[in-house]
Amino acid sequence: MSKLKRSAPLPAAALLAALAAAPGAQAQTAAASAPGIGATDIGGVVTGPSGPEAGVWVIAETTDLGTKFAKIVATDDAGRYVIPDLPKAKYKVWVRGYGLADSPRVDGTPGQPLNLAATPAPSAAAAAELYPGMYWYSMLRIPAADQFPGTGDGRGGNGIPEFMRSQYAWVDTVKQSCQSCHALGSQNIRHPRKELGEFPNSTEMWARRIQSGQAMGNMAISIARLGPEKGLSLYADWTDRIAKGELPADKPARPQGLERNMVVSLWDWASPTSYLHDAISTDKRKPTLFPNGLIYGSPEESTDEVPVLDPVNHKAWTVKHPYRPGTPSLADEPRGPSPFWGEEAIWDGHTSNHNLIVDDRGLVWFAARIRAAADQPEWCKAGSDHPSAKVVPINAGRHFSVFDPKTQKFDLIDTCFGTHHLYFGYDADQTLWTSWGGPAGNVVGWLNTRKYLETRDAKASQGWAPMVVDVPGWGKRGEYVEADKPLDPTKQKRVIAGMYGVQPSPTDGSIWGQSMDRGFSRMDQPGYLIRFIPGSDPTNTGLTELFQPPAGSWSPRGIDVDSKGVVWTTLGSGHLASFDRSKCKAPLTGPSAVTGEQCTEGWTLYRFPGPQFAGVDPSGSADHAYYVWVDRFNTLGLGNDVPIASTNGSESLTVLVDGKLHQLHVPYPAGFFTKNVDGRIDDPDAGWKGRGVWTTTGTRAPFHNETGKGERPRVFKVQMRPDPLAR
């Protein structure tokens, strides 16, 4: 009897593919455990060398529809997956997961089962390429706490500016001025492009890099606040260590529990050069309005073309936002050559369209610039007869507009105050409240939209008020000293808080806001929560309360209020936080009312998962969240009043359910970076299929993502089914 010839072993992927196709016992086992699917589903089992792959993602993508479309699900404990409700098309399907390299993209057809072979990552470095950005940017070396306050660049100085008084302020600048706009840990950022040129060292490379494109002004200011030589050298050290093969010290865990129930649908919209800020689907106050309707976006500085998505018919287009003659364009501002776009001015926006909201009439309201700042109406200024100008004459930078989808027409609405974020109140006048961040943000502004739509009189329909703190405890507005004057305990005190976020309370008529800390505002003051109590005549009766986060936490960013009146924010220290004013024990008056160092008992903190920067307080996290949104009406299916943080550091939406944080990581395209969330209920009787939250690609540079130049911003719909195989 001759000896059998031993053949070379098959590669793991080939072996698994052969087993999946074989008629033997392995194939019968897979078939027995395969999930049930319908005519519009793709489903099967994902298997790796050691058996079923639990907690990995399966992605199906098509270009057969009106715009590129994809859907993402996770596998269950047995490696099973079901991608439900796919439009009729030809799909490419593949597996992605921590510890894996992407599997080959194979053809998939709805209604037909598809078992998939996972591809193990060939090395730790290859596996780490799929880690969320925060795992990479947490490798940045932060100056030790004993290096602060900085001693400057002079002889004997440590290179840290003297105004940088604490380590947390340095970290806050990294997060709020760098990461919040440019996804620091994304592949392009951590692996600089050779197209930048040849440099004697990486410090000079970074000096050139931050002078690229039309965001160079903000990047230059940010690095100057870090050093600049100190900041440049530390970023250079970071990318040098990565180039030499250093990997993140921590590894992300695969999705667990309810995280595996996530279903993500995504559509291309807008152009590859568009910088999208927000997306909106319905009226936040009643999310059952406009079911299955259009999604609108705000493209901020990049363009005046407002993107629109029809998610039912998978079509995307734009509507041009008008502006008045003389409105400046981003194309006219200084810029450096880009390694992606050369000398081309890819941003040519005039309207600086930042934020948008839909009302119960279906009108879309924008925070948008409609004219040059120099064209401020006379009725905004000193000597005007406008009631608010008599109290606080001002000059603004961004204004209002409103778009009627039925007529396809815009109204351009002059405001004296600036607009940044905007939300509707709960009053009969449908008052639209706005924030105005930064040192110029010295008032609270509003528009009576009922009056405006009846009269089209912008002057008569708007008002604004100073922020005045009730130091002596009078309980009503009285004589106050200006913000630049010393505190007088016998008088009230005006403050300049620079509201960034704004949110009317659904419980008591107060208006909540938050101001940014030093890392974003570049003002010598901490970040606050701000409560504005309008009174009967807000310009003359409004009072303000300030609240600082407790020691060890800092820098509120974003704000929302739940149905019980509890305020939610995210903190630069790496926390989701709630503030319950009803827990305050001491009177909210006296000198501490001006600093906001009061009612620490009202705060509850939840540390974001993941690593912290080395040498920084471990009670916080390196994760960065841009904003927070409270799901008051169970639009996601996880319950009422669930806060959702836009944690773009972990490339996730982070939800708090029953006191525990869960991260809904979106794995494709790598570098998921979002700034807002909006929820809508399309069919309250359809279970999980009738609910979902919407968001969009929010980075300034979508071409930094894994697909590179040509990658378009995407709209993401996130849904939560009751289990990973629900159809």
CATH number of the domain at 110, please.
2.60.40.1120
- Domain contains 231: yes
Statement: residue 396 has pLDDT above 80: no
Between CA 422 and CA 427, with CA 425 as vertex, the angle to 5 degrees is: 150
Confidence at residue 311, expressed as pLDDT on a 0 to 100 scale? 98
Residues 45 and 93 in one domain: yes
Q: Which domain holds residue 224?
A: 133-243
- Domain contains 84: yes
Task: Name the one residue in this structure whose structure tokens are 């390429």.
Answer: 129
- Domain contains 420: no
Residues 45 and 144 in one domain: no
Residues 82 and 151 in one domain: no
- Domain contains 163: yes
Residues 147 and 121 in one domain: no
Residues 198 and 113 in one domain: no
Residues 46 and 89 in one domain: yes
The rounded percent of the chain whose pLDDT value lies above 90 is: 86
- Domain contains 232: yes
Residues 78 and 140 in one domain: no
Tens digits of residue pLDDT in 80-134: 999 999 999 999 999 999 999 999 999 999 999 999 999 999 999 999 999 999 9
Given 243, 258, 289, which residue is the final one in a domain? 243
Residues 28 and 98 in one domain: yes
Residues 113 and 201 in one domain: no
Statement: residue 437 has pLDDT above 80: no
- Domain contains 108: yes
Sheet strands (E) in 89-162:
91-96, 100-101, 106-108, 116-117, 119-120
Statement: residue 31 has pLDDT above 60: no
- Domain contains 474: no
The rounded percent of the chain whose pLDDT value lies above 70 is: 95
Residues 17 and 112 in one domain: yes
SS (H, E, C) 564-624: CCCEEEEECCCEEEEECHHHCCCCCCCCHHHHCCCCHHHEEEEECCCCCCCCCCCCCCCCC
Confidence at residue 438, expressed as pLDDT on a 0 to 100 scale? 60
Residues 119 and 177 in one domain: no
Segment 157-181 shows an average pLDDT of 93
Given 243, 272, 297, which residue is the final one in a domain? 243
Residue 12 — very low, low, confident or very high, per pLDDT cuts 50/70/90? very low
- Domain contains 162: yes
Statement: residue 10 has pLDDT above 60: no
Residues 90 and 34 in one domain: yes
* Number of separate domains in the chain: 2
Confidence at residue 440, expressed as pLDDT on a 0 to 100 scale? 61
Amino acid at 320: K
Given 212, 227, 243, which residue is the final one in a domain? 243
Average pLDDT, the chain: 93
* Nearest residue to 357 via CA among 273, 449, 442: 449
Tens digits of residue pLDDT in 258-271: 999 999 999 999 99
Query: Alpha carbon 565 to chain centroid distance?
Result: 23
